[in-house]
Structure 1
């Protein structure tokens, strides 16, 4: 399993020129996800989130620092967050707008090394409940393109452990 520094990820995502006639990704902010203030029905998706679902979007956020990174995915939030899975179990302090970033199937065994600070990602946004193999349910997923994590110089290899 390869441990890929996020700097390599950010260098390869969203920084290339668009081909002629290509539609640029929608610029979406985490604050665009749910209506504010929260009403009596709880969180309600905004028209902007519903319209962006299924389309290429560009998000700027923070990678969640986890004790146990999950192969093929990581979490992106509007603010820096750390998760202590051993100490807290299923309880976490993740914001409702947390996005699960899903690597392409061909890279489903890759771990992406934690990187502090904000960064931009571009991918296809998916809104709606989905359960992963660990049982975690996500409402927002960003599916990266197949070439988003192309091998970069300086990428370190590391074994995956549970």
Structure 2
């Protein structure tokens, strides 16, 4: 192995690329604290993570009406009663919209209690979803991201 490393350093052979480990990111890293007169401001850590592979641990939001191809992740357990509460909800500012891979956009994700760890590509910036909610942070999952989580994905019934 040492000979291979020396040959690679000399530029005589190319070693296979090793995927970088995802950047650990916490919900506390999202916005500058305390909140100032300009409202929520993204931290340098959140801006730097934009477009990068990150690992995030949070709680899946329990919704009355799950949306196909996505779910919400928050720093604490939250239940949304869209029918009763309408646009008034208890979602924290640091809410992440988790997007399934394009091949899974028609799937509903079953609610999973307790903390879950997800890895995906982070995207920062305002995007309006099909309900009219504007989310500022999205986590794009790979096609196999939910494979290790039993019962996490179910087919969407029409």
Query: Gaps spanning 5+ residues in structure 1: where?
Result: 1-18
Corresponding residue for residue 125 of structure 1: 122
Describe the shift of the 1:77–1:47 C-alpha distance in structure 2 as closer, same or farther (beyond 3 A). Answer: same
Deviation of 1:90 after TM superposition, in Å, equals 1.4
Q: Which of 59, 62, 66 lines up with 2:63 in the alignment?
A: 66
Q: Which of 28, 51, 64 lines up with 1:31 in the alignment?
A: 28
Which has the larger Rg? Answer: 2
TM-score by length of 1: 0.81
Task: Tell me the distance in 1 between the aligned counterparts of 2:63 and 2:73.
Answer: 11
Corresponding residue for residue 46 of structure 2: 49
Task: Tell me the distance in 2 between the aligned counterparts of 1:43 and 1:155.
Answer: 32
Which residues of 2 match residues 9-158 of structure 1 at below 5 A? 21-150=18-147
Query: Gaps spanning 5+ residues in structure 2: where?
Result: 1-15
Describe the shift of the 1:152–1:62 C-alpha distance in structure 2 as closer, same or farther (beyond 3 A). Answer: closer
Task: Tell me the distance in 1 between the aligned counterparts of 2:71 and 2:38.
Answer: 29
CA RMSD in angstroms, aligned pairs only:
2.2
TM-score by length of 2: 0.83
Task: Tell me the distance in 2 between the aligned counterparts of 1:147 and 1:155.
Answer: 11
SS in 2 for 1:86: helix
